Structure 1
C-alpha cells in the first residue's frame, strides 16, 4: 500500500511542476473587464513578464516590462516566488526519484531511501507554499484595485493563469504529503515502539539438605 501511495504522490508532484511552469508562462494573470465601463473593442491582459493589448480582430501586441526597478514590488516578489517554486519542484522530483520504493537506484538501504522520499515531500510542500503565496498575493492586489474607487483607468479581473497556479500549488501540497507517508519505512520491519526490558535471568535454587546424596556409602 505504501508503494502505491508514494507512486501516486510522485506522479502528482510531476503534474504539479508542469502546471506551475505553464502558469508562470501564461499570459492571462489578469484580464481587463467591461464591468461598469463603456464596451470597447480592445482587451488588455497582463502577466508577470509583459502586458498585451488585443483588438476585436484577434491581433495582439505585447510589450515586455523592460524596467525591473519600475515594477511594483508585489510583481517582483511573485516572480521570485514562482521561480523558486519551480526550482524546488525540480529538486523534489530528483530527490524523491532516488528514494521511491518501486525504483531501484544504487545500493542505499531501505531506511535511507525512505528519508530521501520524505525530504522530497517536504521540498514539494515548500514549493506549493511558494506558488500559493505568489498567486494569492497577485490575486489580492487585483481585487483591491478593482474595488478601490480611487483607482482610475481600466479595471482588471482574475485570469486563467492564477487558477492554474492554485491548482499546481494544491497538487504540490497533496503530492508532498503523500510522499511524506514514507516515514513508515524509516523504522525497520518488526521493530515495535516502547521499552523492552532485559530477559530475566535463571535463578538456581540450592538443593535441600534433606535430599539423599547421589553417592551413598555401602
Structure 2
C-alpha cells in the first residue's frame, strides 16, 4: 500500500492543481483566427468561467467579469462553476486523505489509514467526474456554435487551453481514484498492526500408541 499511497497522493495533488488552474483560467474558449471574419483574424478574444478577455491593442490585455453580477450569468455557466468548485473541493479532500494514508505517517492507526485511502480514492473519482463533465459540456457548446455558424460579431471560437488541462486533470483523477480504491479495498489489515495472527497448538498426546 506504500507505493500506491505515494502515487495516489502525487496524482491527487497534480489533479487538484490542474482543476484550480482550469477554474480560474480565462481561456476556456478563444477566438479562431481561421474561422473568423478576415477583418477580425488578428483580434484575440477569450472567455472563461469567471471572466472574458481581449487584446484590443498589441501587448494590452483587458478583462471583465461579464459586466454583470455573480448570479446574472447564464444558467449553464453557473452550473459549470458549481461543478468545478465541487471538483476542486473533492480533489483537495482526496489529496489530504491520501497523504495521511502514507506509511510514513505513524500517528494514525493502519485501519484508519486504510479507510482514509478508500475515502480519498472515492473522492478522486467523483472529482474527476465533475471536472470532466464541466469541460465536456463547455466543449459541446463550442462545437455546436461552430458547426451551426453561430458567431458573436463575426468571431468564431475554438477550444482554449483550460479545456485540455481539465481533460488531463480529470483523467488523472479517475485513474488515481480507481487504482487507490481497488488496492485499498483488497488490502487486509490485522489487529496487530498488520502482523499475522498465530495460534499455538499443543502437540498431540501419544500415550495410547502401541510400540512394537
TM-score range (shorter-chain normalised) is 0.7 to 0.9
Equivalent residue runs for 1:103-122 within 5 Å: 103-106=105-108, 108=109, 110-122=110-122
Judged with a 3 Å threshold, the aligned counterparts in structure 2 of structure 1 residues 27 and 36 are, in CA distance, closer, same or farther, namely closer
Larger radius of gyration: 1
Asked if the contact 1:89/1:127 (under 8 Å) is kept, the reply is yes
TM-score normalised by L of structure 2: 0.81
In 1, distance between residues paired with 2:91 and 2:152? 39
Asked if the contact 1:31/1:46 (under 8 Å) is kept, the reply is yes
Residue 205 of structure 1 aligns with which residue? Answer: none
Point out where structure 2 has 5 or more consecutive residues left out of the alignment. 198-203, 205-212
Asked if the contact 1:9/1:177 (under 8 Å) is kept, the reply is no
Point out where structure 1 has 5 or more consecutive residues left out of the alignment. 192-201, 203-218
Asked if the contact 1:32/1:43 (under 8 Å) is kept, the reply is yes
Backbone CA RMSD of aligned residues: 2.3
In 2, distance between residues paired with 1:10 and 1:101? 12
1:84 positional shift: 0.7
In 2, distance between residues paired with 1:155 and 1:77? 23
1:186 positional shift: 3.4
Judged with a 3 Å threshold, the aligned counterparts in structure 2 of structure 1 residues 184 and 100 are, in CA distance, closer, same or farther, namely farther
Query: Secondary structure of 1:185's match?
Result: coil
Asked if the contact 2:54/2:62 (under 8 Å) is kept, the reply is yes
| Structure 1 moving runs of 4+ over 6 Å | none
In 1, distance between residues paired with 2:126 and 2:6? 19
Residue 26 of structure 2 aligns with which residue? Answer: 27
In 2, distance between residues paired with 1:176 and 1:150? 39
Q: Tell me the matched-pair count.
A: 191
Asked if the contact 1:23/1:165 (under 8 Å) is kept, the reply is yes
1:56 positional shift: 5.2
1:87 positional shift: 0.8
Asked if the contact 1:51/1:62 (under 8 Å) is kept, the reply is yes
Asked if the contact 1:100/1:114 (under 8 Å) is kept, the reply is no
Asked if the contact 1:135/1:162 (under 8 Å) is kept, the reply is yes
1:103 positional shift: 2.5
Most deviating of 34-43 and 139-148 = 34-43
1:10 positional shift: 1.3
